[in-house]
Structures are given as C-alpha cells and as structure tokens.
Structure 1
Amino acid sequence: MRIWGPLVAICLGTFMLLVDVTIVLVALPAMSDSLGSSLSQLQWVADGYALAVAAALLGAGMLADLHGRRRMYVGGLIVFAVASVACALSPNMPVLIGSRVVQGLGAAAMFTTTLSLISTLYEGRRLGLAFGAWASVAASASALGPVLGGLLTQALDWRWIFLVNVPVTVLALALTFRHIPRSAPGKRDAARRLDVPGVLLFALGAGGFVYAVTEAHTQGWASAATLVPLGIALAAFAVFVRVQSRGAHPLLDLSMFRRPAFTAAMITISVGEGAVYGILPYTSLWLQSVRHLSPIGAGLVVLPHAVAAALVAVVCGRWLPTPSPRLGASLGLLLAGLGVGAEGFLGPESGWPALVGGLALSGFGMGLVFQVAASLALGSVPPERAGMASGTYSTFEQLGYAFGVAAFGTLAVSAMTGSLEGKVTDASATAGTLSGGGADALLSAAPDALRPGLDHTLHAAFATGHNTLALTAGALCLAGAALVAWSTRRPRDEGPLPARQGAPAGTSRTRAHAPGGTSGHGSS
C-alpha cells in the first residue's frame, strides 16, 4: 500500500475535479427545466467552475510550494465538498453558478498539487507507473463525466451529480491523511510571498474575457456590455505580464516559456481542451433537445471517446515506446482535430450514430495529448518550480475549456441565426432559445399546422450550428498541431533540461517527457 495508497488518494481527487468539469453537460436541460435559465446561464454553470479553477491555479500553486502540498490538497478537498453540497441545494441559477465558482476554487487547490505530489513522492520505475495511472485518470475523467451525469440525472435527480462528491471526498481525505507525508520534499524560499496583485490581475483578465465572449451573442460584439469587459480584460493581462516580468518572486515565471517543450505543452493542452471539450455542451444539447435522447443515452454516446482516451493513456504508458514530444503532441492534436472535425457533417435527420466515429477518433487523440503534455510541462522545469509548472499546465487546460465553451456558444448562436434567417419571424431570438435547449418550447408555442415544418427547420438550424462548431474546432486542432511541430522542430535550442526529482533513471530528454517514463517499464 506504500505505492498505491498515495496514488489512489491523488487520483481520486483528480478524477472527481475533472469529472465535475463535464458531468453537468447532460444535466443542463434538467437544470433548465428545474430552475429556469438562459443560454448564458447554462454556459456559466459550465464555465464558472472551469474559470474559477483557471483563475486560482497559479496562486494555489505558489501557496503549495510555500506551505506544503498536502495541506493545500486537503484544504481543496474540504472546500470542494462543501461547495458541492451548496450546488446540490441551490434554489436558483445565480446560487448554482456562485456555488460552482466556489467549487472551482477548491478544485484549483487540489489540481495544482496532483502532478507535483506525484513527482516528489515517486521515483524511477514507480514514477513512470504513477504518471501512467494519473494520465489514464485524467484522460478518461472529463469524457466519463457525461456518462456519470446521465446515470445520476436519469436515475435520481440532477442534484445528485454534486452530492456524489461527498463520499468520494471523505475517502480521499482518509487516504491522504494516512498515506501522503505531511510535507513533500522540496526547497522553500522564505522570501517568497503570495503574489496577490498577480492573482487579482489574472482573475480579472480571464474572467473579463470569458464574460465578454459569453455575452457577445446576446449583446453584440460592438456593444458596451461586450467591449468594456473585453477592454478591461486585455488591460489586466497586459499589466499582469508587466508585473510578472519585473517581480522578484512572480506568480508565473515567464522564463519557463523560453523552453520550446514547455510552450508546446501549454499550446497542446489548451487547444485540445478548448476544441474537443468546448463543443461538448452543445453536442449534449443537440442529443437531448433535438434528438430527444435521455440523459443516460446522451452520456453513453460520448462513451467511445472516454474509452479511447483511457486506452491510449494506459497502452502508451505501459507497453508502447514513448513518442518524441514533437511527434506525440502533434499527432495527438492531429487525431483530435480529425475526430472532432468528423462530427461536423450532421443533417436535419441525422442521429447519434453520426457522432460515434469522430468521438472515438478524438478520444485517441486526447489520450495522447494527456499522455505527453503533462510530462512535457513538468519535465521542462527544476523541482522547486514543480508547483508553478503544475499550476500553469492546469491553468491553460481549464482556460482552454472555459474559452472554448464561451466562444463556441457565441459561434453557435451566430450560425443558427444565419440558418434561420427568412424562415422564422425573429431569427436571433429563436437561435438563442434553440441553442439553449429550447427546441420543444419553440415547437409548443407554434400553431399546430406549422409545427412539422418548424420542427424540420429547427433540426436543420441546430445541425448547421453544430457543424460550424465541429469544423472550427477541427481546424483549431490542426493549426495547433502544426504550431507545436514548428515550435519543437529544433529541440537542441532548448538546452539541457534541469534535473527533475524522481525522473526515471537513464531516460533521454525526449523519452522522459511522457508520463509513461521509459518504454517497457513494466509494473512495479
């Protein structure tokens, strides 16, 4: 149990916090029916959590480096559990969204410590095994979220997708106290302090940007409601970069981005998350509100993606030679792009089978992305920056998802509006209702004689919107793959990697990047 106890404790928290990114997706229609909501509010149920995780990760990573990773992990588990109960008891959408934000803060404290805990608790072949297990959990958790959400929503109620976190948290806490040391090995600099201005500036920039993009589909890009928060966000990001570049103990060490491997890891994970998982809320809404699948049915449609992602993480981590960073990251994004792009050919009469092949292929790609990107990030920095690197990696992961959900929501409404022009009285309002899962409400409000024609029109409009999202997401992944291949084309310019505590002995600079460690490491 000395090997598996800490790993199970860490992976339980990782699985729970990543599942909660996507577990709400198939429950969105049920939440809307229960509490009443607009498309923007539904977006914020998903984005509020991811954005809070992203905004708090860098600060949590610094606090973990300063005050102990186990302490930060335990605190995050407790906050996460309390906020989950608040989500389950929410009487309206504003309370639910606020509780999701607090839940995201707890998740940030957990997430920022997982990779750094593994890197300090294991070494050699055990480190390879631990990274392989973690990568398998990370690769499958986000994709399994819709399946678990569908099961709980259909069998019990949407509130149980949050209540189920409580017993899992109790188990994770018990294992943490028993198996993870009170203070992880590592040097601590007494002169370092939490960069409060950096935390606030980054949160303001990320929050302002996502808010502007989310509201653009209702307010318009030229409106003050969009331009003002967008301007504030850009200004906050500019000041953040300036402050970080001049600070003695920055929240984000910008010099890490001078290493092509680290930059490639950030591009890989943010583009993959934003493109592949950013369109899943709208896929779920199409499956349930247009094709009338049950919550569990909609979740099971995504299951091939989850299985493929987990399979790649396990097989590549244990039995196959680890690909080079350039090949692994680029190939992962290429497969993800081809897969998600294949989902962009729906017609008015298409059913769920039209998605399965693309979902499976994108799962293979994301399994490889998770396999390579995390270790690229940690393998590029010295051990005393493990918490910062882990926090930065997770920040880019969650920001990619948050920006993807927000941007694709605006793009969906725009595409559906164009498809409905000349076919309905108010194309913009109809597109807003349709994209929020309100197809049945639109049909019930129409005269009986017009319903068959309107039903076909709505099917065609949602298919057009989803196709636009999928093809755009595919193009983003392909562009990301090309950019990663270009940025890592000359790895010798990166210089030797700093020695990383617990790195598998004898691994080369390219073979140590993937969580699997050396090829054919076997089991411990």
Structure 2
Amino acid sequence: MSAQAPPPADSAEVPAVSTARWWTLGVACVATFMLMLDVTVVNVALPDIRVDLRADLAAQQWVIDAYTLALAAFLLTSGSLADRLGRRRVFATGLVVFTLASLAAGLSQGMVLLNVARGVQGVGAAVLFAVGPALIAQEFTGAERGKAFGLFGAVAGLALAFGPALGGLLAEADWRWIFLVNLPVGAALLVLTLLKLREQRPGGAPGVDWPGLVVFSAALVLLVLGFLRGEALGWTSAAVLGMFAAGVVLLVVFAVVERRRGDAAMLDLGLFGNRTFLGLSLATLLSNATSLAAIFLEVSYLQNVLGYTALEAGLRLLPLTLVLFVVAAVTGGVVTKVAPGVLIGTSILLIAVGMGLIALVDPGDSWLSLLPSMVVMGVGMGMFNPPRSVVSVGVVAPEKAGMATGIGETFQQVGVAIGVAAFGALFQAKVIGAVAGSGLATGSAATDREVGRAVAAGAGGDLGGGAEGARALFVDSFGSVMVVCAVICAVGAAIAYTFIRGSDLHESATAGTE
C-alpha cells in the first residue's frame, strides 16, 4: 500500500506511514538475513550433528529436507492468510513460530526432535519469506518500491555471502549455536513488529480457504519429497512415482476446488492468464533450479575436491556473493527506468553465461579459475531479485500482494528443491557413467558404480592412487552438468524477454514512477 493510501482502521495503535515504512523495510531485511543464514549455515554443521546425536545418513538428510518441505509447502498458504488476517499479525506469528522452533532445535537431544523442530522452523520461515515482501510493497510505491526491494535483495545476498563463513565459526564453538543465535534476533524483531509496523487488512476479506490450504500443502509436500528422495529411493521406484502421481492429482483437485470457491479461493487462478505473471513464474523456476544447483556443486567442488574447510570455502565464494550484494543495491534504483522483461531476461541470461563459464575449468586448476563464472553469475543474480520482487507484487492489486509474493516464493523454493535434487542426480549419473572408461575402472559394473558414487560425493581423495583420476572425473562431469544448466537457464531468459511486459502491471505498481 502506498504512503498516500488511507490508514487502516486500527492505525491509531501503530506509527504513521512516514516512520512505519522504514521500520517495515528494516524488519523485513533483518528477518530475511536471519532466514538466509539459517538456510546456508546448517549444512556446515551436519558433521558435528552426526557425531553428537549419533545420526545416520537418512537422519542427516532430514535436517535439510524437513525444513525445505515445510518452507515450500506453506509459502502460498502464508501469503494468502496474511491478506485475509492481517500482514503484521501473520508476520509476528511467523516470528514466534520460527524463534521457538530455533530454541527447540538448539536444545534437541535426539534426531527426531531436531528434525521435527526443523519442520516447524520451515513453517515459520515460509510465513516470513512470503509476508516480508508484501509488507514492503504495502509501504512503498513507484521508484521507491524498486529501491526498497533493491536493498532487500542486497541484504539477502549479504547473508549468502557470509552464511557459510559464519556457520563455520558457530559450528566450531558448538553446532547448537547456529539455531540459538536466532533467539535474540527473533525476539527483537517481534517487539519491533508489534510496536513499529502498521497493520493493514482489507475490509470484508473472505475467511480462510481451509480446503485449498490442505490440498495445496499436501500436493507440494508430495512433489518436493519425490524430488528430494528420488536419488535415494530410485527415480522409477514405486514410492517416488507414487509421490509424483499423487502430487499431480492433488494439484488438479486444488485447481477444481479453487475454481469452485470463487472469491473465497486462496489462489486466484486467473493470475496465470496474465502473461507477465506466468512468464515470471516460469523464469523464476528455471533460473533458481539451475543457479542454486550450480552453487551447491560449486561448494562441493571447493570443499570436497580442493579440500577447503567450510570457512575457507565460504570466503572463496565472496567474489560471487559480494558482487551480488552490490549489483542488487544498484539495480533497485533502475527497476522503474528499464522495461521489466529486459531487466529480468538479461539478469537470467547472465546467470546462464556464468554457469557456462564453469565448463572452462580444468582438473588441474586452482579455485581462481572459477572467478569469471562467479563474477558473471553474481551480476546476474544481483540483477534478478529486485525486479522479480517488484513485478511479482506489481501484477496484482495491493490487497492481494501476500498471495502474489507467496506464489513467487513458492516457485523460487520449489525450483531450489527440484534443481539441487535433479541436477545433483544428473551429476552423479555422469560421474558413474564415466568411471568405466577411465583409469578408475575395476572391471566390475557394481564396483564401478560404488567408485562413481564416492567420486560424486567428493570422496575421490580416499581412492589412493586414483585421486587425480577422480578429480578429473568430478571436474569434467561438473562442467558438463553446468552446460545443461546454462541451456535451461537461457530458456528461462527467453521466457522473460518474451512474456514479461510493463503494461501488465497494476496501477499501484506504476504510481509515482514518472
């Protein structure tokens, strides 16, 4: 909602627009920083968690998967609830859930409790991810909205930049601190949210769409779980195929339910008839699926092949993430001056070029050979988020901003889950397939497969005299997968260039841009 909009009915209890808008931006940015840190720091603590809680591999996977599943499944639900119940109220609830779940995770004495806490953490994170951008859109319009989202995206980049390094430092003290550090931050944000942010809730909003909420959440849980478990259970196994089939059926049921509920539906299906919204959703899915898979494999390369610690690997990613931070801040100032399709399409194309440059890395190179890719990807990723956020809320009326950001974040997070799982599996398949024709071949197909799995997992150094051959297999397969990612990402750029139009934006998004 813009600064010129009439105040909400309960505005006397909260600050005026002039002060509330900056508090809103600050709270949303710090909350996002906390969430992004929590996404990145957990990975580096898994070895310590395994030892302390005697966790097997499956239990360790659920530390990541429980959070990812809940986050992806409840994003749209959270945004829709915020539009109906009040964004400040729902955001504050998300802070309480996330902070208490962080406390439970930090005090966990067993893997079951830790993984349950991580799932609840994911629910709280879904609320904050979905509602934060809607709160910003509520307070800023026109050129100022672009600048606000530029800062918002830059802060997310800063968290990515220092997440692995900070996670390494916290894990060295005690892995529990990666969760407990959220307590003072979450408590402070909750106080500021209740005292400084304005509430806004459209009059006559329909009640909660419980049928839609349950069916959609179940569908996403099944689909994301299928991708997360595909490699371990087998992509053609009855369990995985059953998850995919049930997820698709539930999405069809969800579409039928929403169409019948009309104005009471949590998702306005008509939005996908807007070519800009559809194009942005598809472009976001493709760019996130490929770029986050690239970073995942890049971190594996730095740690498992080049032998850097989590802290050392995090520091070597700074060229990418610091460029992302600076470019995101700068891009926020030009969002309203450049056609959104051109800006978003160019950003995704740069990400694709950056991934393609990884194919130039040779097995004997140092980490410095990754610099061209890091810089170009950092520019593209920094350019992407500010206009994406502006367009995702700009195609709808202000009262539907929560729903729109929920959809946008859903496509982002589902893209991450799909990309890391699918391209990780493709990478492993390429490594395994290349073992037979390499110096690591044993003459036994079963043994070659185990060797391939070890190389893909970064354990090639344990193969003794075959360590150099293992490194070559890893790097060659890494480069091949990045070419595939680059091509798919370029398709996302083409979609953005073709589909996204400034003329499709709601009048509230263009007010004050002249």
Separation in 2, partners of 1:390, 1:485: 21
Q: In 2 relative to 1, CA 319–244 (structure 1 residues): closer, same or farther, beyond 3 Å?
A: closer
Aligned pairs for 1:103-252 (under 5 A) are 103-123=121-141, 126-154=144-172, 156-181=173-198, 183-184=199-200, 186-190=201-205, 192-248=206-262, 249-252=264-267
Separation in 2, partners of 1:307, 1:250: 41
Displacement after TM superposition at 1:41 (Å): 5.6
Q: 1:169 is aligned with what amino acid?
A: G
1:427 aligns with 2:448: yes
Separation in 1, partners of 2:476, 2:367: 15
Aligned pairs for 1:359-508 (under 5 A) are 359-421=374-436, 423-424=441-442, 425=444, 426-439=447-460, 443=462, 451-488=463-500, 494=504, 497-500=505-508, 503=509, 505-507=511-513
- Equivalent residues of 2:331, 2:382 under 8 A apart: no
- Equivalent residues of 2:227, 2:417 under 8 A apart: no
Displacement after TM superposition at 1:91 (Å): 4.5
Displacement after TM superposition at 1:302 (Å): 1.4
Deviations 1:429-462 (A, max 9, x none): 344444445446xx2xxxxxxx432222332332
Displacement after TM superposition at 1:44 (Å): 4.3
Displacement after TM superposition at 1:93 (Å): 4.8
- Report the more deviating stretch, 32-41 or 369-378: 32-41
Displacement after TM superposition at 1:408 (Å): 2.0
Residue of structure 2 in register with 1:519 after alignment: none
- Report the more deviating stretch, 158-167 or 317-326: 317-326
Residue of structure 2 in register with 1:281 after alignment: 296
Displacement after TM superposition at 1:95 (Å): 4.2
User: What TM-score does the superposition give when structure 2 sets the normalisation length?
Assistant: 0.87
Deviations 1:441-487 (A, max 9, x none): xx2xxxxxxx4322223323322342233222212211100122122
Displacement after TM superposition at 1:37 (Å): 6.2
Deviations 1:155-204 (A, max 9, x none): x23332222212211221222222112x22x41334x2222232232223
Percent identity, aligned pairs only, is 35
Deviations 1:306-357 (A, max 9, x none): 1111111111223787321111111010001111222234443333222222
5+ long unaligned stretches in structure 1: 444-450, 509-524
Separation in 2, partners of 1:376, 1:320: 10
- Report the more deviating stretch, 363-372 or 258-267: 258-267
Q: In 2 relative to 1, CA 193–287 (structure 1 residues): closer, same or farther, beyond 3 Å?
A: same
Separation in 2, partners of 1:344, 1:157: 38
Q: In 2 relative to 1, CA 316–129 (structure 1 residues): closer, same or farther, beyond 3 Å?
A: closer
Separation in 1, partners of 2:59, 2:363: 27
Separation in 2, partners of 1:26, 1:360: 24
Deviations 1:274-315 (A, max 9, x none): 211133333223322222101111111211111111111111
5+ long unaligned stretches in structure 2: 1-18
Greater helix percent: which structure?
2
Deviations 1:362-411 (A, max 9, x none): 11101111021111111110111111111111111111111112212222
- Report the more deviating stretch, 27-36 or 127-136: 27-36
Separation in 2, partners of 1:142, 1:256: 31
Deviations 1:97-142 (A, max 9, x none): 3322211100111122112211223456654443332232234334
Separation in 1, partners of 2:366, 2:58: 26
Q: In 2 relative to 1, CA 40–324 (structure 1 residues): closer, same or farther, beyond 3 Å?
A: farther
Aligned pairs for 1:499-518 (under 5 A) are 499-500=507-508, 503=509, 505-507=511-513
Q: 1:51 is aligned with what amino acid?
A: L
Deviations 1:206-263 (A, max 9, x none): 2222322333323333221222212112212222222223322222111112222222
- Report the more deviating stretch, 144-153 or 246-255: 144-153
- Report the more deviating stretch, 260-269 or 323-332: 260-269
Separation in 2, partners of 1:142, 1:43: 21
Residue of structure 1 in register with 2:313 after alignment: 298
Q: In 2 relative to 1, CA 360–349 (structure 1 residues): closer, same or farther, beyond 3 Å?
A: same
- Equivalent residues of 2:359, 2:483 under 8 A apart: yes
- Equivalent residues of 1:316, 1:322 under 8 A apart: no
Separation in 1, partners of 2:465, 2:270: 59
Aligned pairs for 1:9-24 (under 5 A) are 9-24=27-42
Q: In 2 relative to 1, CA 35–475 (structure 1 residues): closer, same or farther, beyond 3 Å?
A: farther
Residue of structure 2 in register with 1:100 after alignment: 118
Residue of structure 1 in register with 2:14 after alignment: none
Separation in 2, partners of 1:44, 1:415: 25
- Equivalent residues of 1:50, 1:402 under 8 A apart: yes
Q: Count how many residue pairs are aligned between Structure 1 and Structure 2.
A: 489
Displacement after TM superposition at 1:63 (Å): 1.4
- Equivalent residues of 1:220, 1:226 under 8 A apart: yes
- Report the more deviating stretch, 361-370 or 408-417: 408-417
Q: 1:166 is aligned with what amino acid?
A: L
- Equivalent residues of 1:63, 1:194 under 8 A apart: yes
Residue of structure 1 in register with 2:75 after alignment: 57
Q: In 2 relative to 1, CA 169–417 (structure 1 residues): closer, same or farther, beyond 3 Å?
A: same
Displacement after TM superposition at 1:89 (Å): 3.7
Q: 1:235 is aligned with what amino acid?
A: V
